[in-house]
Each structure stands twice: as structure tokens, then as C-alpha cells.
Amino acid sequence: MTVVDPVEGAGPILERLAPVVSAFAGSGFRFALVGGVVRDLALGLGDDVHDVDVTTDARPDDIKRLVAPVADAVWTQGERFGTIGMHLGDDSVEITTHRAEVYDETSRKPVVSFGDDLGDDLARRDFTINAMAVDGHTRTLVDPHHGLADLVDRRLRTPLSPEISFDDDPLRMLRAARFLARFDLAADPALVGAMTAMAARLGIVSAERIRDELDKLLTLDTPGPGLDLLAETGLAERIDPSWTPTALAEPALREPTPPVRVPRLDLRRALLVECSDDPAAALRALRWPGADIRRTERALVFADDLVTAGAHPSDRFIRSSMRSPGREAVDLAVDLVDARFGPAATDTFVTRLEELRELEELDSPAPPLDGREVMDRFDLRGPAVGEALDLLEEHRLDHGPLDHAAAIALLEARRTARSDPPGDER
């Protein structure tokens, strides 16, 4: 990507926010675009930016007072952390008081203290490419840690020493992998060294936060470089001991995904946990949502069944797959096999599945007889009712759907066969 002057790109945003900028200037407070918005403007990605972070020396009470007359809406959920949110037109803006944070060594949650210096605020940020600001009053770039030069040089560094940065918030080590992959950067050797030496520090980060960072990495077009960094530094094995560099070298996990039937994240999650010695344990350890865990587990099992079925899956196999593991898990399994072996591995299954779907209801077939009718017509009770319904379902799986009359005939034939005496007594 080409790196440009972020100040020029910030112009339209500041014009849209002019009433707020003027309000802060009139009260003698700083108003500066900061963080990701400045980075994206520098990368020429700011055309449709409407989520904006701002930093100021104003305290939360002052921020509320200044934005209330001009904002379309104001929210204060982050007030105790110094953040007041507002909507103005199409823009969503979070305005945060300069921070000077101190971290507890046993927790990644900071003790927030408000500051007055923009330089101190920028120094506490995760990476130099996110430690730039555009002053809304002077329309100048504030870049004390040379983040713009790092974007030009495709380099990922921390504003302070990486040891301080990662000790304050170990989650930043996972964020490093994501930013490196997202923006095609090279990690500074000192950053890599600190990640390797401090991998154990990840232990104070909750499973949910680790999962969320992994999800963000997996949704990128090419997560491979980020996975490489996690593997090289030993962080991946801290998350799952079987995620070695060799395991994470799986090509299907690293390459851009072709058009898929399921969301990219679902496929990449499945590919990632498939690298684990115990995929089910990996899913649960990272506390993915229960429905996602169940679907992924079923898909992993069915993917093996698909490979075993090969080029000649039976109609019974296809019909059964819609009942268990179900359509969502089947779609994920097909994508998994395609990613590992190419679409030719599932062509026959997918083609015949669509043919059957045109001919019959596969996803939620209604039985031709319900339990009540079976009980009344054939005077059956208890387990015998279930056996009769199972017979109808087995016939459907093998031969396709039965209409009402054919279902009755099948059960009549079954009853007749059961009531006939043995052959030598006829």
C-alpha cells in the first residue's frame, strides 16, 4: 500500500466535525484524531472512515458539556475510562481524555489516570503505527515515535521498549501478529525477541480475549505471516501445545480462501483447531460460542466421512448428512475438504446433493405419517411406534420420500410379514 500524508485525508473528517472542533478550541482544549483512523488515512484507506477516535486534555465532564449542544446523540458508557461517545451526522466519534496508565503485574487491566500531555498519551499506545495524531486545530501531524516512517518502511515497532509495552498488556503480543499480517509489515527484531522471552506473560490474558484476537487474525485475507510470528515466538504453543510451527504451516490455513459456503471465520477456525491434537478441547479452551463449537465438531467428523466416501457417495449417505450433522455442518465440512484437497474432492457429493434437493425435501422432511396416526391405524403403543417410524425413515434414506399411501402400505406389509407363521407351518 502507498503511504500518504494523513493530514490531507483528515481534512474532510475535521470539516464534518467542525462544530465539535470549534467547541473544544473555544474552551482551550486539544482535539486530535488519533490511533487507527490516522494510520488508515496514512495508508489511503480513509475515504469511508466514519468511526473516529479523538484524544483531548479535556476531562469527561468537560467533554460532555462541549459535545451536548452539537451532537446528534451522546453516550457515556466509557466515562469511567475517560471516553465519551457521540454521533454527528454519519460519524461515530469516541473522545477520550489523554491517559497515563499504570498496569497491575497480575492483570492486563490498567489503572486509568488522566493526563494533560498528548505525547504521554501516544507513548502508551501499542505500536508506533497507531501512535500518531492529527491536531484538529493546527491541522498538523503529531508523530513523536515515527509511525509514518515505520509504515513507509513496513516495520512493526512499539513506542516504548517492547518489554514495557508487552508487560503492561500482554494481549499486544497477539495484536502484533494481526497488524503484521493485515498491513504486510516486518516485525522489528527487538519486538520478536520480547515476544519470545515474554510468551509466558500471556497467561494473565483471559481465554475470551485471546479468542477474539485470533478471530480477528483469522478473518484477514492472508493470516499466514501472523501465524508464523505466533509460532516463531512460542506464543501459539502457549495457547495450544500442539500448535507448533510445523502444525501451523498447513497451507489451507494460510492462503486466501476461495468463495466458500460458510463465513470465512468459521472455516478458518475449523482449520486452526484441526491443527490441534484435540480439536474439541481447543474449541472449548478458547470458549467459542457453544453453537459454533458443536457445528465445528460435527463438521470435522463429517469431513473425514466425506473423504472416506470419496467419489461415490451413496444417496443414503447424502440424505443422512442432512439429518446429522445437518446442513450448516455439512457446508462447513465441504469447505474444509475443498480447502485441504481441492473442490474435485467434493464435486460428486455437492452435485448429487443439489440434484436430490431439487427432487425432494432434504433439510426438514416431514414424515408421511406421524406418531398419532401410526398408533391409531395400527394399534401400536410404546416402543413399537418408534420402530414403525424408524422403518419409514430408513426407507426414505435408502429410496427417497414416501407419500401417505405408500407409507401405509409399507407398514401394512411389515405387519403382515410379522403375523405370518413360519414357512414350514404354512
Displacement of CA 213 from its chain's centroid (Å): 8
**Mean pLDDT of the 189-215 span:** 96
pLDDT confidence bin for 251, thresholds 50/70/90: confident
* pTM over the 0.85 mark: yes
Angle between helices 290-309 and 264-274 (to 10 degrees): 70
**Mean pLDDT of the 10-39 span:** 96
Beta bridge partners of 92: 51, 87
**Mean pLDDT of the 370-375 span:** 93
Q: Residue 418: pLDDT above 90? A: no
**Mean pLDDT of the 377-399 span:** 93
What digits encode the pLDDT tens for the residues 113-171? 788 999 999 999 999 999 999 999 999 999 999 999 999 999 999 999 999 999 999 99
pLDDT confidence bin for 259, thresholds 50/70/90: confident
CATH fold label, 1-153: Beta Polymerase; domain 2 (3.30.460)
- Long-range own/partner contacts, residues 363-371 (CB < 8 A, 24 or more apart): 363/322, 363/327, 365/396, 365/401, 367/392, 367/393, 367/407, 368/392, 368/401, 368/402, 368/403, 368/404, 368/406, 368/407, 369/404, 369/407, 369/408, 369/411
Q: Residue 28: pLDDT above 60? A: yes
pLDDT confidence bin for 109, thresholds 50/70/90: low
**Mean pLDDT of the 47-67 span:** 94
More confident residue, 330 or 100: 330
Write down the pLDDT at residue 100: 72
Which three three-digit cell numbers place residue 153?
518502511
Which three three-digit cell numbers place residue 115?
493526563
Q: What are the sequence ranges of the domains in the chain?
A: 1-153, 304-359, 371-419
